[in-house]
Amino acid sequence: MTDPVTAVLASPPHWTLLYAGLNGLLSFALAFRVGLQRMRANVIFGAGDDPGLQRAIRAHGNNVEYVPLALVLIGFLEVAGQPGWLVHALGAALFLGRALHAFGLSMTEEGSPGRLYGILLTWIVLAVASTWSVIAAVI
Protein backbone atom coordinates (compact mmCIF):
# COMPACT_ATOMS: atom_id res chain seq x y z
CA MET A 1 0.00 0.00 0.00
CA THR A 2 1.28 3.45 -0.93
CA ASP A 3 1.41 6.14 1.73
CA PRO A 4 -0.42 9.43 1.01
CA VAL A 5 2.76 11.48 0.53
CA THR A 6 4.10 9.09 -2.09
CA ALA A 7 0.73 9.09 -3.84
CA VAL A 8 0.69 12.91 -4.02
CA LEU A 9 4.27 13.06 -5.26
CA ALA A 10 3.53 10.42 -7.90
CA SER A 11 0.54 12.41 -9.15
CA PRO A 12 1.12 16.13 -8.54
CA PRO A 13 -1.71 18.64 -8.82
CA HIS A 14 -1.77 18.80 -12.61
CA TRP A 15 -4.01 21.83 -13.11
CA THR A 16 -2.35 23.82 -10.35
CA LEU A 17 0.88 23.37 -12.31
CA LEU A 18 -0.77 25.22 -15.20
CA TYR A 19 -1.79 28.16 -13.03
CA ALA A 20 1.58 28.20 -11.26
CA GLY A 21 3.27 28.36 -14.65
CA LEU A 22 1.06 31.18 -15.88
CA ASN A 23 1.61 33.16 -12.70
CA GLY A 24 5.33 32.41 -12.88
CA LEU A 25 5.47 33.86 -16.37
CA LEU A 26 3.59 36.94 -15.16
CA SER A 27 6.01 37.31 -12.26
CA PHE A 28 8.97 36.97 -14.63
CA ALA A 29 7.52 39.65 -16.93
CA LEU A 30 7.00 41.99 -13.97
CA ALA A 31 10.55 41.37 -12.69
CA PHE A 32 11.95 41.96 -16.16
CA ARG A 33 10.02 45.22 -16.34
CA VAL A 34 11.61 46.29 -13.03
CA GLY A 35 15.03 45.61 -14.52
CA LEU A 36 14.26 47.64 -17.62
CA GLN A 37 12.93 50.51 -15.52
CA ARG A 38 16.06 50.38 -13.35
CA MET A 39 18.29 50.68 -16.43
CA ARG A 40 16.17 53.53 -17.83
CA ALA A 41 16.24 55.43 -14.52
CA ASN A 42 19.85 54.47 -13.76
CA VAL A 43 18.84 53.28 -10.27
CA ILE A 44 20.52 50.20 -8.80
CA PHE A 45 18.78 49.99 -5.42
CA GLY A 46 15.35 51.18 -4.36
CA ALA A 47 13.26 53.35 -6.63
CA GLY A 48 15.18 56.61 -6.44
CA ASP A 49 12.81 59.44 -7.30
CA ASP A 50 11.33 57.62 -10.28
CA PRO A 51 7.56 57.04 -9.99
CA GLY A 52 7.53 54.59 -12.94
CA LEU A 53 10.18 52.45 -11.24
CA GLN A 54 8.28 52.60 -7.95
CA ARG A 55 5.10 51.37 -9.68
CA ALA A 56 7.02 48.58 -11.43
CA ILE A 57 8.58 47.49 -8.13
CA ARG A 58 5.22 47.46 -6.37
CA ALA A 59 3.47 45.63 -9.21
CA HIS A 60 6.07 42.86 -8.98
CA GLY A 61 6.20 42.90 -5.18
CA ASN A 62 2.45 42.79 -4.82
CA ASN A 63 2.32 39.84 -7.19
CA VAL A 64 4.85 37.81 -5.22
CA GLU A 65 3.09 38.67 -1.97
CA TYR A 66 -0.23 37.15 -3.02
CA VAL A 67 0.43 34.39 -5.56
CA PRO A 68 2.31 31.80 -3.45
CA LEU A 69 -0.34 31.36 -0.74
CA ALA A 70 -3.15 31.29 -3.29
CA LEU A 71 -1.37 28.62 -5.35
CA VAL A 72 -0.66 26.52 -2.26
CA LEU A 73 -4.34 26.62 -1.32
CA ILE A 74 -5.45 25.78 -4.87
CA GLY A 75 -2.94 22.94 -5.06
CA PHE A 76 -4.08 21.47 -1.75
CA LEU A 77 -7.69 21.64 -2.89
CA GLU A 78 -6.78 19.79 -6.08
CA VAL A 79 -4.79 17.13 -4.20
CA ALA A 80 -7.66 16.74 -1.74
CA GLY A 81 -9.92 15.80 -4.65
CA GLN A 82 -12.10 18.89 -4.65
CA PRO A 83 -14.08 19.59 -7.85
CA GLY A 84 -12.10 20.40 -10.97
CA TRP A 85 -14.33 23.37 -11.75
CA LEU A 86 -13.27 24.88 -8.42
CA VAL A 87 -9.56 24.50 -9.18
CA HIS A 88 -10.04 26.06 -12.63
CA ALA A 89 -12.25 28.89 -11.37
CA LEU A 90 -9.79 29.78 -8.63
CA GLY A 91 -6.72 29.38 -10.83
CA ALA A 92 -8.13 31.42 -13.71
CA ALA A 93 -9.45 34.12 -11.38
CA LEU A 94 -6.07 34.34 -9.65
CA PHE A 95 -4.19 34.78 -12.91
CA LEU A 96 -6.71 37.27 -14.30
CA GLY A 97 -6.77 39.21 -11.04
CA ARG A 98 -2.99 39.40 -10.80
CA ALA A 99 -2.65 40.43 -14.46
CA LEU A 100 -5.33 43.13 -14.11
CA HIS A 101 -3.78 44.44 -10.93
CA ALA A 102 -0.26 44.52 -12.35
CA PHE A 103 -1.42 46.29 -15.50
CA GLY A 104 -3.52 48.80 -13.56
CA LEU A 105 -0.78 49.55 -11.05
CA SER A 106 1.90 49.81 -13.72
CA MET A 107 0.01 52.31 -15.83
CA THR A 108 -0.92 55.02 -13.34
CA GLU A 109 -0.24 56.28 -9.83
CA GLU A 110 -3.95 56.83 -9.38
CA GLY A 111 -6.51 54.13 -8.73
CA SER A 112 -7.64 52.29 -11.83
CA PRO A 113 -10.32 49.75 -12.71
CA GLY A 114 -7.64 47.14 -13.40
CA ARG A 115 -6.08 47.64 -10.02
CA LEU A 116 -9.44 47.57 -8.23
CA TYR A 117 -10.87 44.52 -10.01
CA GLY A 118 -7.53 42.76 -9.85
CA ILE A 119 -7.23 42.97 -6.09
CA LEU A 120 -10.91 42.12 -5.63
CA LEU A 121 -10.48 38.95 -7.71
CA THR A 122 -7.35 38.04 -5.77
CA TRP A 123 -9.08 38.54 -2.43
CA ILE A 124 -12.06 36.49 -3.57
CA VAL A 125 -9.71 33.65 -4.58
CA LEU A 126 -7.98 33.76 -1.19
CA ALA A 127 -11.25 33.92 0.73
CA VAL A 128 -12.94 31.10 -1.21
CA ALA A 129 -9.86 28.85 -1.29
CA SER A 130 -9.21 29.38 2.43
CA THR A 131 -12.82 28.82 3.46
CA TRP A 132 -13.21 25.78 1.18
CA SER A 133 -9.98 24.33 2.59
CA VAL A 134 -11.18 24.67 6.17
CA ILE A 135 -14.54 23.12 5.35
CA ALA A 136 -12.93 20.26 3.36
CA ALA A 137 -10.54 19.57 6.23
CA VAL A 138 -13.22 19.25 8.90
CA ILE A 139 -15.92 17.43 6.93
Query: pLDDT of 74-119, one tens digit each?
Result: 999 999 999 999 999 999 999 999 999 999 988 777 788 999 999 9
- pLDDT at 10 (0 to 100): 66
Residues sharing a CB contact under 8 Å with residue 19, sequence separation 6 or more, in sequence order: 71, 74, 91, 92, 94, 95
CA distance 113 to 98: 13
- pLDDT at 93 (0 to 100): 98
- 33-79 tens-digit pLDDT: 999 999 898 788 887 888 889 999 999 999 999 999 999 999 999 99
**Full DSSP string of 25-57:** HHHHHHHHHHHHHHHHHT-SSS-TT-HHHHHHH
28 dihedral zone (left: phi>0; alpha: psi -120 to 50; beta):
alpha
Distances, alpha carbon 33 to alpha carbons 48, 64, 114, 128, in Å: 16, 14, 18, 31
Would the pTM of this model clear 0.95, i.e. be above it? Answer: no
- pLDDT at 8 (0 to 100): 59
- pLDDT at 60 (0 to 100): 95
Residues found in the chain:
139
Residue 15 burial by CB count (10 A; 0-12/13-18/19+): exposed, middle or buried? middle
Distances, alpha carbon 35 to alpha carbons 22, 47, 62, 74, 121, in Å: 20, 11, 16, 30, 27
